[in-house]
Amino acid sequence: MRIFSGVQPTGIFHIGDYLGALKQFVQLQEENHCLYCVVDLHAITLPTDPKVLKEHILDVAALYMAVGIDPKKQIIFVQSDVPYHSELAWILMCNTYTGELSRMTQYKDKSKGEESSPAGLFTYPVLMAADILLYDTDTVPVGNDQKQHIEITRDIAVRVNNKFPGTFVVPEGRFLKEGARIMSLDDPLTKMSKSSPNPFSRISLLDDEDTIRKAVKKATTDSFDNIAYDEKNRPAVSNLLTIYSVFSGMTIEKIVKLNEGKGYGAFKKDLGEVIITALRPIKERYEEIRNSEELVVCLRDGSERAYALAEKTMKRVKDNFGLGTVS
């Protein structure tokens, strides 16, 4: 199967990105042909400092490799290095309705309270659809927050196929049962995000050990005196149990059993160590890769391979739409 996914280079990954998306990326590479993209064109939908963006692009690419994606077997590349993404986005925009874009919750959230916002923020989902459809993708591993974007991608693909049969492969989203939505440590009702002003609301993959211990210690809990999973009534502790479970590989039932009769102090101490142990090898690999020449060589090679695949799809799309001078 062809797998495609992307991450915005807007900061260092947090454990939500890792557990919701990146862990799947690594699992899927065993039996599939995968493309993992650093979506820098999406990152400029909101104001960005060019110097910081350049660094974040390399940070994200190095983290892809540090979590275990093999750039020789799979393709790791930067979106703007393959200009076909923008070209296909335009063609898709002509087949997308403003009504459907204005229903996107991410757009509504990000433009909230603004009298006017960048048109790129509005058309963001169309560029994402172009990313996916450009590579004849079968499966898109993502966290739950991307569900609406996958749906609109499918709608656009089906709409174009109805006009011009055989233009696109209609992709499926792939969401995990556990980890698909990791919540903030300071507010279990909002998703963990790179943009929250409180640094203790998240744990970054590169945080040092003391920061991780401190963030877990500060994490919101509740006033019950036992550790139990109940997403509806006890969202904070349920979120911590999910994080514990996905990092340790233990079932939630087993963790609850291990913590019978214990308080939050002991539970959080264990959780901090579980996270530190899981992130240690990632951090070590990241340090090796981030400043190596290999990183840029791998990205150049990845862009070339992605370009060749994209070129084939674009030829088919342009032919089907009757675009260009000759076919």
Q: CB of 253: closest distance to ligand TYM in angstroms? A: 22
d(CA 64, CA 286): 9
Catalytic residue among 191, 214, 269, 318: 191
Any residues with CB less than 8 A from the CB of 82 and at least 6 apart, and which?
A: 134, 303, 306, 307, 310
Establish whether 254 is a catalytic residue. no
Contact status: 91 vs ligand TYM (CB under 6 A): no
Q: CB of 52: closest distance to ligand TYM in angstroms? A: 15
Establish whether 191 is a catalytic residue. yes
The residue range among 13-21, 112-120, 250-258, 312-320 that interacts with ligand TYM, by the rule CB under 6 A, is 13-21
d(CA 282, CA 16): 15
CA distances from 304 to 3, 76, 128, 289, 311 (A): 17, 10, 20, 20, 10
Contact status: 5 vs ligand TYM (CB under 6 A): yes
For the segment 37-66, give every residue that binds ligand TYM (CB under 6 A): 39, 42
Report the residue from 40, 59, 131, 186 that binds ligand TYM according to the rule CB under 6 A.
131
Q: Note whether 304 and 35 are within 8 A (CB).
A: no
Contact status: 21 vs ligand TYM (CB under 6 A): yes
Contact status: 6 vs ligand TYM (CB under 6 A): yes
Gyration radius of the chain over CA positions? 21
Any idea which residue has 């990313």 for tokens? 131
Contact status: 187 vs ligand TYM (CB under 6 A): no
Contact status: 146 vs ligand TYM (CB under 6 A): yes
DSSP per-residue string spanning 39-71: -HHHHTTS---HHHHHHHHHHHHHHHHHTT--T
Token pair in block for residue 223:
């006033």
In sequence order, the β-bridge partners of residue 6 are: 37
For the segment 192-231, give every residue that binds ligand TYM (CB under 6 A): 192
Burial level of 223, CB count in 10 A (0-12/13-18/19+)?
Answer: exposed
Q: CB of 5: closest distance to ligand TYM in angstroms? A: 4
- DSSP one-letter code for 199: G
The residue range among 17-25, 44-52, 238-246, 247-255 that interacts with ligand TYM, by the rule CB under 6 A, is 17-25
Question: Which residue's CB comes closest to ligand TYM?
Answer: 20
d(CA 66, CA 206): 11
Catalytic residue among 51, 110, 232, 283: 110
Report the residue from 181, 214, 283, 316 that binds ligand TYM according to the rule CB under 6 A.
181
| Binding stretches for ligand TYM (CB under 6 A) | 4-8, 16-17, 20-21, 39, 42, 128, 131-132, 140, 142-143, 145-146, 149, 180-182, 191-192
Active site residues: 110, 191, 194
